Amino acid sequence: MPRGMPEVIATKQKFYRVSNFPNVIGLIDGRFQAGEFGGAHLLGDSGYPLEENLMTPFMQPGNHSEVNYNNSHKRTRVIVEQTFGLWKSRFRCIHKSGGNLCYTPQKCAKIVSATMLLHNYCIRRRIPLIGVDHGDEDPYNVDDPDDPDPQHEGIRNVPAGQAKRQRIVQEHF
């Protein structure tokens, strides 16, 4: 996560350039407090609750602006999801098809950190994924926010999050 307001602003600008989604500071991880980064928010898929600091797609977009919001949300989020797909393809022990990491949580955290560092090293050195069989799974696959997962229907949305998402739609889409 960025440190200091100049880094926050630069990060928000980089995310905005992806798909014109405003004020995004990060993706997926909803652990920071609202206001910590000047009112910025994270993007999460439909498996997360809509909160003031965590924007999710509309389960059933009701108009063209909400469809545009969902499309921009998806195009912005897909970058991180593709990265996770490639990382899990390179290190199958991290992927659910590779089994489980049967270690203490502390050791699992070290394995995850080490594989992320190695994956980033491979990316910088342009070391390709070799001999990886994706089977039926596409490492670039992203859940479609327009096709909601029924298991997520009961997720509670916070009214402040609903109001913020509606404001974003009205002002930007």
Domain hosting 100: range is 5-172
Q: Between 153 and 11, whose confidence is greater?
A: 11
Across the chain, how many H-helices and E-strands are there? 4, 3
Q: Is pLDDT of 35 > 70?
A: no
Summarised one tens digit per residue, pLDDT across range 98-152 is 667 778 888 888 888 898 899 989 888 988 887 655 454 444 444 444 444 444 4
Q: Is pLDDT of 66 > 80?
A: yes
45 within 8 A of 77, measured Cβ to Cβ:
yes
Mean pLDDT of all residues belonging to the chain: 77
pLDDT score, position 64: 95
Task: Sheet with 41-43: list strands edge to edge.
Answer: 24-27, 41-43, 54-55
Which ranges constitute the DSSP H helices of the chain? 5-19, 64-90, 105-124, 159-172
Residue 27 and residue 45: Cα distance in Å, rounded?
9
Residue 149 and residue 46: Cα distance in Å, rounded?
8
Residue 160 and residue 55: Cα distance in Å, rounded?
11
- Name the most confidently modeled range: 44-48, 55-59, 134-138: 55-59
Q: Between 42 and 135, whose confidence is greater?
A: 42
Polymer length of the chain: 173
The tokens for 122 are: 């491979």
Number of domains the chain is built from:
1
- Eight-class DSSP state of 51: B
Helix or strand (DSSP H, E) at 159: helix 159-172
Q: Between 156 and 172, whose confidence is greater?
A: 172
